[in-house]
């Protein structure tokens, strides 16, 4: 994730990411990455890019993005499409399911997002992905007669994709839309109008079919009836074919696009790639908040018994499906279980907390009746609760848009007990968990739960060596998260 690279403050890791990810991509037949993500994470509530962007500093985003591009361009014949123009990270909403707005005025936009894109253009960026993002302030400044109901996302707006991107910034590379199923695009007009509107706005390539035959017929009809002009069609095709020619694709047989099995093994097993991953994980770990000095480093002598509370959030069906796809299906160890094992290997007596709600679920799944006494049994004497362990780790494995807590009062799920015994909060996904748990006095962002990251996390816990620097505002702009 970009945020993990941003936390290291090391541009060479961004270059390595561009090289490693796309060496592997090319072997399986890919020749263009929809990357780097050059959005700026200004809004902590944004779930779409807060973990993918390099951070909230435009200069750092520009620097890291250029290095990623350089790394990708070491891969022969590989192109990059930076996203999401004109820039995500201002709105808290996700364009997959709602509108998204960048409301900066032109001057501020040019200093931030515009600067990032111009830096990439000067560094040889191949393509841009247009985002389904509206620019109401920019539009009112430059086109004062435009009505609110006429505001369109960039992918459908000629004033943005042509007027701003082409004319003002001077970009002449290929432009591809973001996915055409996203609500930020589909909620503006009928699909039969939307497809040609994207091309006429200045997008050269349209991303994803709804129904292939239907969408193709829509585009062809728009061309045949003059909705898409001959000039615009030739212009779009020239940019698409020009990019392919620039990458030498006209010289590659279709059968040669994918690498051989041997090349695939070589790319996936590259020892140089494997060696750098643990370094990145070690340098990225960020001790964001540390109010109870003396808690770190942890040792078995200080904290023999460690209770790990797995805070997963309310999984959506898609979240569960993605977990399975990423190797987290039935029978697979959860990240919290891996951390538990690694702590026990260091001499601790670690265990994973089972909440009253978890017990109730097991009871019902086993065919029994729901016993509400189990829920209320979670409330006991403070002395009894704290006597069971010497330290608690609140382990946040919460996906981007998931709510954090379900129904819980007085159990161990929510760390209400931060003044009763030492508590360390650790997030391995969403980096903004302090908004939900401002009471935490020690909080760490690990950014992912890869094996290398978990090894680095345990080492840092027992040594106190945390090297990362917060790439966003993990305090979420709130005063109470800092106290």
Tokens standing for 466? 């945390």
283 carries an active-site annotation: no
Candidate list 39, 94, 126, 178, residue with the active-site label: 178
Separation CA 238–CA 217 (nearest Å): 21
Instruction: Classify burial at 317, counting beta carbons within 10 Å of its beta carbon; exposed 0-12, middle 13-18, buried 19 or more.
Output: exposed
- Exposure of 169 by Cβ count < 10 A (0-12 exposed, 13-18 middle, 19+ buried)? middle
Token digits of residue 115: 């600067």
Whole-number Å distance between alpha carbons of 451 and 170: 44
Q: Alpha-carbon distance 378 to 408, whole Å?
A: 9
CA–CA gap between residue 32 and residue 73 (Å, rounded): 10
Q: Are 218 and 192 in contact (CB under 8 A)?
A: yes
Helices (H), 165-228: 183-186, 191-201, 212-224
Taking alpha carbons only, the member of 1, 6, 48, 51 closest to residue 431 is 51
Contact 41, 4 (CB under 8 A): no
Record the tokens describing residue 392, joined without a space: 């608690």
List, in order, residues 6 or more apart from 341 with CB less than 8 Å away: 333
Helix axes 58-72, 115-122, angle to 10 degrees: 30
Residues acting as catalytic residues: 178
């Amino acid at each position: 994730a970009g945020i993990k690279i941003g936390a290291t403050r090391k541009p060479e890791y961004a270059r390595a990411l561009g090289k490693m990810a796309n060496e592997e991509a090319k072997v399986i037949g890919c020749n263009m990455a929809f990357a780097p993500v050059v959005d700026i994470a200004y809004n902590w509530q944004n779930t779409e890019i807060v973990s993918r962007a390099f951070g909230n500093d435009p200069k750092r985003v520009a620097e890291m993005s250029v290095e990623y591009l350089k790394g990708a361009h070491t891969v022969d014949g590989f192109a990059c499409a930076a996203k999401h123009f004109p820039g995500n990270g201002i709105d808290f909403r996700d364009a997959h399911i709602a509108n998204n707005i960048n409301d900066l005025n032109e001057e501020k936009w040019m200093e931030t997002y515009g600067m990032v894109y111009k830096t990439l253009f000067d560094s040889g960026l191949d393509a841009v992905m247009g985002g389904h993002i509206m620019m109401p302030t920019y539009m009112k400044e430059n086109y004062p007669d435009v009505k609110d109901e006429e505001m369109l996302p960039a992918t459908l707006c000629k004033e943005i994709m042509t007027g701003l991107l082409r004319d003002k910034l001077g970009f002449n590379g290929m432009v591809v839309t973001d996915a055409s199923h996203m609500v930020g695009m589909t909620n503006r007009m009928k699909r039969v109008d939307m497809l040609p509107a994207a091309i006429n706005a200045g997008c050269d390539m349209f991303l994803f079919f709804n129904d292939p035959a239907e969408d193709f017929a829509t585009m062809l009809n728009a061309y045949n009836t003059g909705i898409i002009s001959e000039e615009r069609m030739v212009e779009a095709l020239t940019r698409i074919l020009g990019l392919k020619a620039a990458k030498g694709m006209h010289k590659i047989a279709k059968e040669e696009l994918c690498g051989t099995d041997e090349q695939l093994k070589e790319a996936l097993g590259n020892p140089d790639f494997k060696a750098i991953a643990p370094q990145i994980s070690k340098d990225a770990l960020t001790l964001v908040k540390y109010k109870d000095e003396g808690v770190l480093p942890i040792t078995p002598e200080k904290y023999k018994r460690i209770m790990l509370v797995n805070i997963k959030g309310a999984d959506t069906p898609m979240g569960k499906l993605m977990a399975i796809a990423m190797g987290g299906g039935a029978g697979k160890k959860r990240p919290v279980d891996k951390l538990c094992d690694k702590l026990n290997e260091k001499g601790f007596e670690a265990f994973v907390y089972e909440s009253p709600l978890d017990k109730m679920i097991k009871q019902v799944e086993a065919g029994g009746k729901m016993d509400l006494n189990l829920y209320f049994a979670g409330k006991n004497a403070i002395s009894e609760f704290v006597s069971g362990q010497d330290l608690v780790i609140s382990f946040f494995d919460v996906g981007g848009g998931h709510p954090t807590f379900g129904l819980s009062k007085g159990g161990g799920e929510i760390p209400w007990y931060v003044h009763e015994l030492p508590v360390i909060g650790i997030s391995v996904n969403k980096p903004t968990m302090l908004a939900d748990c401002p009471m935490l006095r020690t909080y760490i962002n690990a950014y992912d739960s890869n094996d290398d990251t978990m090894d680095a996390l345990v080492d840092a816990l027992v040594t106190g060596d945390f090297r990362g620097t917060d790439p966003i505002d993990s305090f979420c702009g709130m005063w109470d998260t800092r106290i």
